[in-house]
């Protein structure tokens, strides 16, 4: 449906992904110096929670806005106020697009949206309209960057891409194969991919963590006790504390396993004929890995439907190797490039919340643990209460 770094394959995908990862790293993506940027947003988010303390609240939108601002600061060079109308529309349109359960099918089998009956049933035209709208909003941001661009003062990812584009046009087309034709359409697609993935995936993981903690108060209390004993009750846990917080790491790992936000990985294409279990798989076939099945493999994760962080700890309370089996960010060449950033965000947001607040149900019973499948698998809307410990 658009050119970016998620859907395409081949030379274009490799080129776009290579440049994107290198440019993001230049601006601190996945590095420890991202911590201050994340913590800044954590504080804005905690102010929102404080204003709603004690009352039943659905924090889904606030979580998405907070997480989105982190990727916005890298890609757009700015964060937005939560009441910014442009920002709110971006979040709303993105959420509506990604919540369509048929969108992956249309991306994997593009000709479906040309069949009118199927298009009506799957709502693909609505998806196409939303993508066009989101790309138009990305284009506005890109145009503003073009007007203020200074190649000697790169502010963010968009500036880095504009510089690569400028350098590309200076070179002979035949000798410029490094990143394959930077273009307006490619830039809009990459920026939209980064904005979407950087917003939805981590936000959904945080929302899963909260609903699992409110449904497992013993886990929540044990997590809070570890944070209090190791860090103290009044300090924000930092990334340097992670190695001393094995139970916290186990809670995060179990959240990523059971609240698996990407049940089906990005599609892969078979490059040559092969036989698997007596089935012939021809070259060119689309293969969609079922990550969810592996994360519920009973031989690896006994009682796999139960939220049990202790499965990743040995008898001495230290992390064991079983957490290496949790591949929520996929594997291989299409492994999520934002894994390290997502883990930082999940750790810093979750520890900030649990250090300061006890999470309680809206009423007597905790919310049902139910999910909705779109591009990602996220919890259905729920309300909880945040109260002082």
Binding site feature residues for heme: 336
Q: What is the largest CA-CA distance in the chain?
A: 69
Helix (H) or strand (E) holding 269: strand 268-269
- Distance of alpha carbon 343 from alpha carbon 329, whole angstroms: 10
- Residue with token string 């939805």: 200
Helix (H) or strand (E) holding 250: helix 246-258
Supply 262's token pair: 């990407």
Enter the DSSP assignment of 178. S
- Distance of alpha carbon 29 from alpha carbon 23, whole angstroms: 9
List, as residue ranges, the binding site. Answer: 336
Residue 275: other Cβ atoms inside 10 A: 8
Query: What value does the CA radius of gyration of the chain take, rounded to a whole number of Å?
Result: 22
Instruction: State whether residue 329 is helix, strand or coil.
Output: coil
Q: Using CB atoms within 10 Å of the CB of residue 133, give its burial: 0 to 12 exposed, 13 to 18 middle, 19+ buried.
A: middle
DSSP-assigned states of every residue in 57-74: B--HHHHHHHHHHHHHHH
- Distance of alpha carbon 97 from alpha carbon 239, whole angstroms: 33
Instruction: State whether residue 153 is helix, strand or coil.
Output: coil
Of 203, 186, 192, which is closest to residue 141 (Cα–Cα)? 192
Main-chain dihedrals φ then ψ at residue 378, nearest 5 degrees: -125, 160
Of 105, 100, 73, which is closest to residue 87 (Cα–Cα)? 73
Of 197, 306, 198, which is closest to residue 254 (Cα–Cα)? 306
Enter the DSSP assignment of 341. H
First to last CA, the chain: 48
């Amino acid at each position: 449906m658009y050119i970016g770094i998620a859907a395409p394959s081949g030379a274009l995908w490799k080129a776009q992904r290579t440049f994107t990862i290198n440019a993001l790293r230049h601006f601190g993506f996945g590095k420890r110096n991202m911590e201050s940027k994340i913590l800044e947003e954590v504080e804005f988010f905690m102010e929102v929670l404080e204003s709603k303390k004690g009352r039943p609240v659905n924090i889904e939108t606030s979580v998405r806005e907070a997480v989105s601002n982190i990727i916005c600061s890298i890609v757009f060079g700015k964060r937005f106020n939560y009441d910014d109308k442009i920002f709110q529309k971006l979040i709303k349109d993105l959420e509506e697009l990604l919540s369509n359960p048929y969108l992956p099918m249309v991306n994997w089998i593009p000709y479906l949206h040309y069949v009118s009956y199927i298009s009506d049933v799957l709502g693909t035209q609505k998806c196409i309209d939303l993508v066009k709208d989101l790309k138009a909003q990305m284009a506005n941001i890109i145009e503003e960057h073009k007007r203020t661009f200074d190649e000697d003062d790169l502010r963010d990812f968009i500036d880095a891409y504009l510089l690569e584009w400028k350098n590309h046009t200076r070179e002979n087309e035949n000798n410029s194969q490094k990143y394959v034709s930077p273009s307006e359409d490619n830039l809009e697609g990459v920026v939209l991919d980064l904005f979407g993935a950087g917003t939805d995936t981590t936000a959904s993981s945080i929302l899963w963590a909260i609903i699992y903690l409110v449904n497992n108060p013993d886990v929540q209390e044990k997590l809070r006790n570890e944070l209090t004993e190791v860090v103290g009750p009044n300090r924000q846990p930092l990334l340097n504390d992670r190695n001393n917080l094995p139970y916290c790491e186990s809670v995060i790992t179990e959240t990523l396993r059971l609240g698996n936000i990407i049940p089906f990985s990005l599609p892969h294409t078979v490059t040559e004929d092969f036989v698997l279990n007596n089935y012939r798989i021809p070259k060119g076939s689309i293969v969609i890995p079922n990550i969810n099945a592996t994360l519920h493999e009973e031989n690896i994760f006994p009682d796999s439907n139960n939220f049990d962080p202790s499965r990743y700890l040995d008898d001495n309370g230290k992390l064991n190797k079983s957490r290496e089996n949790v591949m929520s960010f996929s594997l291989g060449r299409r492994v999520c490039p934002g894994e390290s950033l997502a883990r930082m965000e999940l750790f810093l947001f979750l520890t900030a919340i649990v250090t300061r607040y006890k999470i309680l149900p809206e009423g007597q019973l905790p919310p049902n643990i139910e999910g909705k499948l779109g591009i990602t698998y996220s919890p259905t809307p729920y309300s909880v209460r945040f109260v002082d410990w």
